[in-house]
Structure 1
Amino acid sequence: MNEVAAIPFAVAFGIITVLLVRSRDVKAWEAVLIGLFGVYLGQTPLVFTVHGLVTWVFSGFQHT
């Protein structure tokens, strides 16, 4: 995955993070989203594995 492909994910997770922090009510699944935002923003080598997992999870919702 290149930097251009990660930008939409980073923006989406960033918006979600800002909304969660403003509400001051962060649950476990929300903490996972904040962690995903950090991984995408940091572009660590782990981002390839995380991106594959996120793509796999979301592709499961698209099956009809």
Structure 2
Amino acid sequence: MSEAEALPFVFFFGVITVLLVRSREVPWWVAVLVGLFGFYLGQTPAFFMISELVTWIVTRFSA
């Protein structure tokens, strides 16, 4: 599956995750972890932006 084909799935599962969080079935932090795992696993084009954000957050809080 190419990156272009994976993007609709990422969007779909993102919407499902948001709906689950809003219904309070899943805590927000679990949804964040699931989303990050999905981006790292799929390595969509958004992977590099999210990877830089996670790296920035980790370096800020670990110092």
CA distance in structure 1 between the partners assigned to 2:34 and 2:54 by the alignment: 14
- Structure 1: stretches of 5+ with no match in the other structure: 1-24
Equivalent residue number for residue 27 of structure 1: 27
Deviations 1:2-25 (A, max 9, x none): xxxxxxxxxxxxxxxxxxxxxxx7
RMSD over aligned Cα atoms: 1.3
1:58 aligns with 2:58: yes
1:61 CA drift (Å): 1.5
TM-score, length-scaled by structure 1: 0.56
Larger radius of gyration: 2
- With structure 2 as the length reference, what TM-score do the two structures score? 0.57
1:32 maps to a residue whose letter is: V
